Structure 1
């Protein structure tokens, strides 16, 4: 086990899955991009750019569905809520819906 191993945080829904073929460093980089997107979303929301925040949050959820398929549950931590079979389509659907709604809303200042 690596130095980042914490007993008891394995996702019970993913016990039988084989380990990811993506190197652990790349998995961490994927997670860093997700966290960075969430921080930018918070920045947009705090500066009242709601449409941008919603669109980027939708894109971040789509990205989460991609890394949910490619990364280990231990690397994802709290982002691996249920099984991959549930999390992937759920985050893809929610992210796609949010991004679509953000793009389809007419901007106020035209």
Structure 2
């Protein structure tokens, strides 16, 4: 169930991207990855479903690194236009 929520959040981000709000969409994807990391860290393995791939620490660190990288790289792109 939690995996479906994370997947829905990523889908929402891609919906923003498809409507030419790419920065908002990609920031949403990065934020959802960080939320997934917190869920993976705090909840027991049977409750997180497919968010559990390896060990708890590995999954959490991977989601934090990737989510942070997505957010930092998105913010590093200069805003062009008004």
**Structure 1 and Structure 2 fold alike (TM over 0.5):** yes
Instruction: Structure 1 unaligned segments of length 5 or more: list them.
Output: 1-27
Determine which structure has more spread, i.e. the larger CA radius of gyration: 1
TM-score (norm 2): 0.81
Q: Is the 8 A contact 1:65 1:92 kept in 2?
A: yes
Q: 1:92 aligns with which of 44, 52, 64?
A: 64
| Pairwise CA distance, 1:61 | 0.8
Query: Does 1:67 pair with 2:27?
Result: no
Residues in 1 aligned to 2:5 and 2:78: alpha-carbon distance in whole angstroms: 29
Query: Does 1:76 pair with 2:57?
Result: no
| Structure (1 or 2) with the greater helix fraction | 2
Q: Is the 8 A contact 1:68 1:80 kept in 2?
A: yes
Residues in 2 aligned to 1:51 and 1:76: alpha-carbon distance in whole angstroms: 28
The number of residues matched between the two structures is: 81
Residues in 2 aligned to 1:48 and 1:37: alpha-carbon distance in whole angstroms: 17
Residues in 2 aligned to 1:109 and 1:74: alpha-carbon distance in whole angstroms: 47
Instruction: Structure 2 unaligned segments of length 5 or more: list them.
Output: none
Matched ranges for 1:1-110 at <5 A:
31=2, 34-110=6-82
| Pairwise CA distance, 1:74 | 2.0
TM-score (norm 1): 0.63
Residues in 1 aligned to 2:77 and 2:14: alpha-carbon distance in whole angstroms: 20
